[in-house]
Amino acid sequence: MEQVYELYIKTTPELLWHAILDPDIRAKYNFGVRVTSTWSVGAPIDVRTPDGSFLLGTGEVLEVDPPHLLVHTQVARWSPEVEAEGASRVTWDIEAIGDSCRLILTHDQLRDGADREVYGGWPMVLSGLKTWLETGGLLTTPGSVMYS
């Protein structure tokens, strides 16, 4: 199964790239959690609650082409049900379009009928990313503040 989300953000590829990789910025729009990695090929990805006490997810960086392409695996770990889904793949594809960027996020290698919790938060997360980059403001949707 594959989920694809396409959106346009009034920003530069460099600022969008930074907002995806910086753990402090990412926490502003990604459920309040810190996503950390060195973001080099083969590097682990660690997803934790803000205080670091609970592991919510892991992954591995598969491909990096700054500021245009990031591909990594994702294993959700916040419950036994989602952990049983195993690894899936997330691709962040950034293209400059005039004074904006087109971001295509593809979440694939999901099993048919995968638990919606594994991929269902992307619309809120991506909306929070767009809002933060364009306005500096924060959304108060669960996708933005669940763990903050």
Q: How confident is the model at residue 145 (pLDDT cuts 50, 70, 90)?
A: confident
- Say which CATH topology domain 3-143 has: Alpha-D-Glucose-1,6-Bisphosphate; Chain A, domain 4 (3.30.530)
Residue 11 has pLDDT above 90, yes or no: yes
What local confidence, expressed as pLDDT, does residue 67 receive? 98
Prediction pTM value = 0.95
User: Peptide bond before 67: cis, by omega within 30 degrees of 0?
Assistant: yes
Q: What is the pLDDT of residues 82-108, one digit of tens each?
A: 999 999 999 999 999 999 999 999 999
Q: What is the pLDDT of residues 47-69, one digit of tens each?
A: 999 899 999 999 999 999 999 99
Tell me what the pLDDT averaged over the chain comes to.
95
What local confidence, expressed as pLDDT, does residue 148 receive? 76
Mean pLDDT value across residues 67-78: 97
Least confident of 38-47, 61-70, 114-123: 114-123
> Which residue type occupies 113?
G
CB of 34 closer than 8 Å to CB of 54: no
* Strand runs labelled E in the chain: 3-9, 34-36, 44-48, 55-65, 69-76, 88-97, 100-108
Positive or negative torsion for Cα 44, 61, 19, 47: negative
Q: How confident is the model at residue 122 (pLDDT cuts 50, 70, 90)?
A: very high
Place of tokens 């419950």: 79
Place of tokens 């933005």: 144
What local confidence, expressed as pLDDT, does residue 146 receive? 80
More confident residue, 142 or 82: 82
Mean pLDDT value across residues 136-140: 92
**DSSP track, 10-24:** SS-HHHHHHHHH-HH
Structure tokens at 80: 């036994």
What local confidence, expressed as pLDDT, does residue 147 receive? 82
